[in-house]
């Protein structure tokens, strides 16, 4: 078999395209394959398919999968046609998507590696520039988003995740049923979430059953404005509620510890995690120490008991029962004379409606929390992202449940 035939077979090049020449430049570590198109074949307009005249040709080069250790380039004289209706257009080639400098099979390889490694690692390994790898990733995400059909939503979760420095955030909107990230919004302002709702068809907002979130004013406001019947759908996620209560307990401990230390009492030294951890997760030794502390007359022991009570209040099926039980707890907090817990109680009272929704709807952000850790791990691997747009692209690439590969017929030409 001559090398031209061999390459035609390997590349899956078919009539009217053919391999005209192969130039192995082994010294340079490269192989270049020249492809032409039969002049006698028809020239269909790439837009409408109508027969059009050949106008001229443009020479273009694509990077393809390596041949052994040699970097392999495809060069073709691609005809441009002149369609009566669409003007001068470049013919589509069967091995690459329009506008890419890589063949579809090569892009698929890059996508596979990107799933495992950072942009810089892939660039190093495949001898590409950082921007080239980033371009493949960006195109893959755009392709995936275009293919994703807008579907009715049932349960969604909304949460912030940190970007770059402290106090810089993006908002992640998550499909709790399909378990993928729907979109990543620029910041965590009311405006950002409103933009998302504006871009979502009304019937998909109407089909929503729950919107799980933290007790964060801007998210609440945006949702109340755009989601029909949102007062019954906004669900304050239990892990976020628990975090607010934990923060209160911790504040009580810090204050009390400072006072005791003044008096030379070190009872609370090194106990921070004992008050935050659930007793069932403690080691036997910690539990022994903790049992003694929680039975004491410490203020933090009282705050801790409130936190413990709250943990038991998530399994009601009826709104009335849930509301009454939480009101009892909130009353206890209000009367506690522990300023941090009084404050937590006020927050809970103002948000009780959404806590009750979360309980009866069974809505939580638990799977979104898992995605959040994955996002933070990606950020660490990438040593941060230069822009919010890149961060969004990476999140959607890894967590968007998108179909990322170039069209199947381009990738599997040999079948």
CA distances from 336 to 11, 241, 254, 305, 350 (A): 75, 19, 17, 11, 18
- In the list 74, 83, 227, 371, the residue contacting Zn ion (rule: CB under 5 A) is 83
Tell me which of 45, 128, 322, 330 binds Zn ion, using CB under 5 A. Answer: 45
What DSSP letter does each residue of 62-82 carry, written as one string? EEEEEETTEEEEEEEEEEEEE
Q: Which one of residues 15, 39, 85, 317 is an interface residue with Zn ion (CB under 5 A)?
A: 85
Q: Pick from 86, 154, 294, 374: which binds Zn ion (CB under 5 A)?
A: 86
Of the listed pieces 40-48, 113-121, 132-140, 272-280, which binds Zn ion according to CB under 5 A? 40-48
Least separation in angstroms between residue 98's CB and Zn ion is 15
Smaller CB separation from Zn ion, 4 or 54 = 54
Q: How far is the CB of 97 from Zn ion (least distance, A)?
A: 19
Backbone angles phi, psi at 187, to 5 degrees: -150, -160
Least Å from the CB of residue 50 to Zn ion: 5
Stretch that binds Zn ion, among 82-90, 124-132, 251-259, 394-402 (CB under 5 A): 82-90
Q: Quote the CA–CA distance of 59 and 57 in Å, as a whole number.
A: 7
SS3 (DSSP) at 214:
coil
Structure token pair of residue 30: 């490269």
Q: Which stretch binds Zn ion (CB under 5 A): 39-47, 107-115, 182-190, 191-199?
A: 39-47
In the stretch 305-344, what mask flags binding to Zn ion with x, by CB under 5 A? ----------------------------------------
10, 22, 47, 378: residue in contact with Zn ion (rule CB under 5 A) = 47
Query: Do residues 266 and 244 lie in contact, with contact meaning Cβ atoms separated by under 8 Å?
Result: no
Count how many Cα atoms sit within 13 Å of the Cα of residue 399 in the half-sphere of its side chain: 28
**Site size for Zn ion (CB under 5 A):** 6
**Least CB distance from residue 86 to Zn ion, whole Å?**
4
CA distances (Å), 137 to each of 132, 183, 371, 406, in order? 9, 16, 19, 11
Is the preceding peptide bond at 224 cis, omega within 30 degrees of 0? Answer: no
By beta-carbon proximity to Zn ion, the closer residue of 43 and 304 is 43
C-beta of residue 368 within 8 angstroms of C-beta of residue 238: no
Cβ(234)–Cβ(220) under 8 Å?
A: yes
Is 400 in contact with 181 (CB distance < 8 Å)?
yes
Torsion of CA 188, 190, 193, 196, to 10 degrees: -130
User: Which residue shows structure tokens 């039969």?
Assistant: 38
Query: Which of these ranges, 67-75, 81-89, 175-183, 317-325, lies near Zn ion under the rule CB under 5 A?
Result: 81-89
Question: What's the min distance (Å) between Cβ of 49 and Zn ion?
Answer: 7
Please tell me whether residue 180 binds Zn ion under the rule CB under 5 A.
no
Among 26, 28, 48, 51, binds Zn ion (CB under 5 A): 48
**Contact stretch for Zn ion (CB under 5 A) within 32-40, 48-56, 314-322, 369-377:** 48-56
Smallest separation (angstroms) from Zn ion to the CB of 45: 3
Least spacing, CB of residue 89 vs Zn ion, in Å: 7
Least gap, CB of 231 to Zn ion (angstroms): 53
CB of 83 to Zn ion, least distance (A): 3
* H or E, element range at 35: strand 30-37
Q: Assess 92 for contact with Zn ion (CB under 5 A).
A: no
Dist. CA 338–CA 301, nearest whole Å: 11
User: Which residues contact Zn ion by CB under 5 A?
Assistant: 45, 47-48, 83, 85-86
């Amino acid at each position: 078999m001559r090398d031209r035939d061999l390459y035609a077979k390997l590349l899956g090049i078919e009539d009217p395209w053919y391999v005209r020449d192969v130039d192995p430049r082994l010294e340079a570590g490269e192989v270049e394959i020249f492809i032409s198109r039969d002049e006698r074949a028809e020239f269909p307009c790439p837009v409408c398919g109508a027969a059009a005249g050949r106008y001229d040709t443009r020479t273009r080069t694509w990077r393809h999968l390596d041949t052994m250790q040699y970097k392999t380039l495809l060069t073709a004289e691609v005809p441009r046609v002149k369609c009566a209706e669409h003007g001068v257009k470049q013919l589509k080639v069967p091995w690459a998507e329009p506008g890419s400098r890589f063949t579809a099979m090569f892009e698929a390889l890059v996508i596979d590696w990107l799933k495992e490694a950072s942009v810089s690692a892939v660039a190093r390994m495949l001898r590409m520039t950082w921007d080239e790898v980033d371009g493949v990733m960006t195109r893959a995400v755009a392709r995936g988003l275009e293919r994703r059909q807008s579907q009715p939503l049932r349960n969604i979760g909304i949460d912030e995740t940190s970007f770059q420095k402290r106090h810089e955030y993006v908002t992640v909107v998550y499909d709790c049923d399909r378990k993928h990230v729907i979109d990543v919004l620029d910041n965590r302002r009311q405006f950002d979430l409103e933009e998302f709702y504006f871009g979502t068809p009304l019937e998909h907002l109407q089909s929503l059953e729950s919107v799980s979130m933290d007790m964060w004013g801007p998210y609440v406001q945006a949702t109340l404005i755009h989601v029909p019947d949102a007062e019954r759908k906004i669900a304050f996620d239990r892990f976020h509620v628990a975090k607010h209560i934990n923060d209160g307990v911790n504040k009580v401990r810090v204050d009390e510890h400072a006072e005791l230390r003044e008096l030379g009492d070190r009872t609370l030294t090194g106990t921070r995690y004992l008050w935050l951890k659930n007793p069932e997760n403690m080691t036997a030794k910690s539990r022994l120490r903790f049992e003694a502390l929680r039975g004491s007359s410490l203020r933090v022991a009282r705050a801790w008991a409130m936190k413990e009570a709250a943990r038991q209040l998530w399994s009601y099926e009826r709104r009335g029962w849930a509301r009454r039980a939480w009101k009892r707890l909130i009353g206890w907090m209000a009367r506690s004379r522990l300023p941090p817990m009084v404050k937590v109680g006020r927050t809970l009272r103002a948000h009780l409606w959404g806590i009750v929704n979360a309980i009866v709807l069974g809505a939580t952000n638990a799977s979104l929390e898992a995605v959040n850790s994955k996002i933070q791990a990606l950020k660490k691997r990438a040593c941060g992202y230069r822009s919010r747009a890149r961060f969004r692209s990476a999140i959607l690439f890894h967590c968007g449940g998108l179909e990322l590969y170039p069209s199947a017929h381009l990738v599997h030409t040999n079948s």
